[in-house]
Amino acid sequence: MALSRLSLRSNRLLNPSTTTAALPSSLRRHVSTDTTPITIETAVPFESHLCDAPSRSVETSSSEILSFFRDMARMRRMEIAADSLYKSKLIRGFCHLYDGQEALAVGMEAAITRKDAIITSYRDHCTFLGRGGELVDAFSELMGRKRGCSNGKGGSMHFYKKDACFYGGHGIVGAQIPLGCGLAFAQKYSKEEFVTFTLYGDGAANQGQLFEALNIAALWDLPAILVCENNHYGMGTATWRSAKSPAYFKRGDYVPGLKVDGMDALAVKQACKFAKEHALKNGPIVLEMDTYRYHGHSMSDPGSTYRTRDEVSGVRQVRDPIERVRKLLLSHDIATEKELKDMEKEVRKEVDDAVAQAKESPVPEPSELFTNMYVKDCGVESFGADRKELKVTLA
């Protein structure tokens, strides 16, 4: 795939979207002196349904592109570490990895604020990180430790960060979609100028609850953005085998939609910015993000029985989101190969340190099994099987 075309415009300055404090010193120097605004044209055009497509020219800056590279590198390294921890049996139960889909998390965050809500399925680690979550909190939760973002009680599928309006992490396929529309209803009811991004996979795209929720969202003009993360396989079933109409951005019928190159962080940013503006004025919109996961559906799935190794390696070579950003940084002299390698080394150390810290966190006390179940101070008591020994008063 051809590189995106880039042009420099000096008539307008862009504010960097993220701090550069975490970058290597050579890169901090480079970025701090380069305030030239950049416009990048996406390599793949948007496809639209019942709406005009957004411009392919995306406004950005050197610091933002560098932040994309670092953030996606952290996400990729986190998922690789999670793979290792799972195989070492330090992570138990279900574990669904996001490597390959990182552009969705960083591109979406670049277009919105932490007051906008996000709710997603069980493939939620990188979304949590994008919302400002800490690596050590992520690994702690994965290993069932008290420091975890859900106090070690949720595990891989139930990450949560309420202070950044991240509402999970849901283990039931498609269950987050009506909840997401409910969040959008709350935003409209409270007259807030924010939106809710509800993420679901192509495997959930045929569920009835999606269309029921979308119908209500359209009737009430809710600021709901439904994002279909189409990685082309619902578990081990290819989209062409499960969907008569795999054009998911058109499946809203009366609801507008966009198809987006989900492996291009800047295209995702542009689409999400467009979708937020649309949803605040006109109600719901469907975004289909054309993406790909490198791992199997979950850690119990080798991912090799329903697709070939050549298919996976082909996507890595042509569409990998991190490599696409790396090429932009190098070809436009924003960073050198050595600087990017140094950044990746720092990311690896950061991840390794977070894993070590998470391992030091204790597991929750057995009594925690009885908390977060009922309204606080309701006074419900739990007894043993013989009804004689009081086990705990539920808080």
Question: How many structural domains are present in the chain?
Answer: 2
Residue 159 and residue 51 share a domain: yes
Residues 244 and 340 grouped into a single domain: yes
Average pLDDT over residues 101-118: 98
Does any domain span residue 10?
A: no
Question: For the chain, what percentages of helix, strand and coil (3-state, to nearest 5) are there?
Answer: 40, 15, 45
Whether the predicted pLDDT of 6 surpasses 50: no
Does one domain contain both 273 and 386? no
What percent of the chain shows pLDDT beyond 70?
Answer: 88
What's residue 25's pLDDT?
Answer: 60
Question: Stretch 63-77: mean pLDDT, rounded?
Answer: 97
CA-angle at 85, arms to 80 and 89, nearest 5°: 145
In Å, what is the CA distance from 44 to each residue of 69, 106, 107, 288? 20, 18, 15, 14
Mean of the pLDDT values across residues 198-220? 98
Query: Are residues 282 and 151 part of one domain?
Result: yes
| Residue-wise pLDDT tens digits, 284-316 | 999 999 999 999 999 999 999 999 999 999 999
pLDDT > 80? residue 382: no
CA distance 147 to 362: 8
pLDDT at 395: 57
What pLDDT is recorded for position 7?
A: 41
The answer to the question of residue 63 being in a domain is: yes
Q: Are residues 383 and 338 in the same domain?
A: no
* Parent domain of 375: 366-394
Q: Which of 115-129, 307-321, 361-375 has the lowest mean pLDDT?
A: 361-375
Q: Are 282 and 89 in contact (CB under 8 A)?
A: no
Instruction: Tell whether the model's pLDDT for residue 50 goes beyond 80.
Output: yes
- Has residue 2 been placed in a domain? no
**Assigned token pair, 215:** 């119908």
Per-residue model confidence (pLDDT) at position 97: 98
**Same domain for 146 and 50?**
yes
Residues 287 and 323 in one domain: yes
303 domain residue, yes or no:
yes
CATH of the domain at 109: 3.40.50.970
pLDDT, mean over the chain: 91
Looking at the structure, do residues 350 and 387 belong to the same domain, yes or no?
no
229 and 126 inside one domain: yes
Q: Quick one: 142 and 189 in the same domain?
A: yes
Task: Give the pLDDT of residue 16.
Answer: 38
Alpha helices in the chain (DSSP H): 25-33, 62-87, 102-111, 125-130, 135-142, 176-189, 208-219, 239-242, 265-282, 309-319, 321-331, 337-360
158 and 297 belong to one structural domain: yes
**256 & 344 share domain:** yes
The percentage of residues in the chain with a pLDDT greater than 90, rounded to a whole number, is 83
> 24: phi > 0 → left, psi -120 to 50 → alpha, else beta; which?
beta
What's the pTM?
Answer: 0.90
Reported as a single tens digit per residue, the pLDDT across 337-357 is 999 999 999 999 999 999 999
Note whether residue 192 is domain-resident.
Answer: yes
For residue 126, pLDDT over 70 is answered with yes
Is residue 28 situated within a structural domain?
no
Q: Is residue 9 part of a domain?
A: no
- Mean pLDDT, residues 78-92: 98
Is residue 29 domain-resident? no
Contact 17, 64 (CB under 8 A): yes
